[in-house]
Amino acid sequence: MLALLRSGHRCFHQSKQLPACYHLSSTAGTADSRHASRPSPPPIQVLLTESAGRGVFATRNIEPGELIHTAKPIVSHPSLSSVNKVCYFCLKTTPNGFHIDQQKESFCSEECREQAKGFYEVEKKADWSAFVDHCRSRALKYPLLAKRLACMVISGMTSAEGLDVLQPALLSAEMISLMEEELGLLRDALKGAGMTTEQLTFLTIEWYAGVLARIRINAFRIELAGGSYEDLLALAAASVESEAAVGNAVYMLPSFYNHDCDPNTHIVWVENVEARLKALRDIKAGEELRICYIDASMSRDARQNILSNGFGFECRCARCMSND
Ligand SMILES: [Zn+2]
Ligand SMILES: [Zn+2]
């Protein structure tokens, strides 16, 4: 399996539209904002780039190491191997989590249990064994995110169109027909749990394929790093094994960052699924902020290969152009 931070295929050939009213709702964690009565907006704006669709740009100078903003996921899910070890909501490691009704799932705190209540009330009524077996036997992780999103929609936590603003991957007819079986298992589990036809109206193959197309291109693999900022940098440079991942998540704002093999910005997770976007060096006002989707320590050919085959674009960053 490829060592990808951003585990999807990204296509830059479709026109990307900015949502009509996109507000930067994440809060910055700078010294300034901590002491302000209201958190100041992060020092960034989302604009259309000339060649790579949307991009994130600095609205002022940013210092190395500065926390540019944090982001909570739209949807997240633990990996199947981590379900017993991490909070079912925030993915924090839970040696002594709140176990619920002899379920294997647990929460790290009352707060997470409360926040998860909507989708978990729906989810826990259903028998997921066939759906989970399907995912486990095929090493699929993204259907788990779609399942959670479906439960969030049914519970009214989010709208069925919640991911529509994100760029979708292109799916072949063959891929969509494979998804029919998954969708059947998902519908069966929810029907078995007593959900009405009306509650499941949104759960069409168009919805399911559209959601998975967006998850494929925008999901981040979550690896937690405690400790110092140096540890985080070491983690980013290391070749990452998929076993280290505690789960996967889709975010709004972090999805708008473009790729660079020598990035000026870094996305990290310290103790849970909340993403932190940090500056790796001096960034000038107006400069585009970019993260590295892959293991930056690979050779130019290996990077080009993964970015082309895995993400669907030829990287023309300064490092690639200088043959480094
Ligand atoms: Zn938690
Ligand atoms: Zn590059």
Query: Ligand 1 mean position to 78 CA, how many Å?
Result: 11
Query: What burial letters (b/e) apply to 52-73, b meaning 16+ CB within 10 Å?
Result: bbbbbbbeeebeeebbbbbbbb
The two three-digit tokens of residue 251, written as one number: 């975010």
Residue 236, pLDDT score:
55
Query: Ligand 2 mean position to 19 CA, how many Å?
Result: 28
Query: Ligand 2 mean position to 305 CA, how many Å?
Result: 11
Residue 84, pLDDT score:
85
Query: Ligand 2 mean position to 262 CA, how many Å?
Result: 7
Query: Ligand 1 mean position to 112 CA, how many Å?
Result: 5
Query: Ligand 2 mean position to 320 CA, how many Å?
Result: 4
Query: Ligand 2 mean position to 304 CA, how many Å?
Result: 7
Nearest-ligand number for the alpha carbon of 90: 1
Nearest-ligand number for the alpha carbon of 89: 1
Model pTM? 0.83
- Distant-in-sequence contacts of 18-26, Cβ < 8 A, 24+ apart: 18/46, 18/48, 18/54, 19/165, 22/46, 22/165, 24/69, 24/253, 26/69, 26/70, 26/71, 26/72, 26/253
Residue 54, pLDDT score:
92
The two three-digit tokens of residue 252, written as one number: 């709004």
Query: Ligand 2 mean position to 314 CA, how many Å?
Result: 8
Query: Ligand 2 mean position to 288 CA, how many Å?
Result: 15
Nearest-ligand number for the alpha carbon of 305: 2
Residues 6 or more apart in contact with residue 174 via CB below 8 angstroms: none
Residue 237, pLDDT score:
52
SS (H, E, C) the chain: CCCECECCCCCCCCCCCCCCCCCCCCCCCCHHHHHCCCCCCCCEEEEECCCCCEEEEECCCECCCCEEEEECCCEEEECCCCCCCEECCCCCECCCCEECCCCCCEECCHHHHHHHHHHHHHHCCCCCHHHHHHHHHCCCCHHHHHHHHHHHHHCCCCCCCCCCCCCCCCCCHHHHHHHHHHHHHHHHHHHHCCCCCCCCCCCCHHHHHHHHHHHHHHCEEECECCCCHHHHHHHHHCCCCHHHCCEEEECCHHHHCEECCCCCEEEEECCCCCEEEEECCCECCCCEEEECCECCCCCHHHHHHHHHHHHCCCCCCHHHHCCC
- Residue stretches of the chain with pLDDT short of 70: 1-38, 96-103, 226-243
Nearest-ligand number for the alpha carbon of 322: 2
Nearest-ligand number for the alpha carbon of 320: 2
Nearest-ligand number for the alpha carbon of 319: 2
Q: What is the CA radius of gyration of the chain?
A: 20
269 φ/ψ angles, rounded to the nearest 5 degrees: -125, 125
Nearest-ligand number for the alpha carbon of 290: 2
Query: Ligand 2 mean position to 267 CA, how many Å?
Result: 17
Query: Ligand 1 mean position to 59 CA, how many Å?
Result: 33
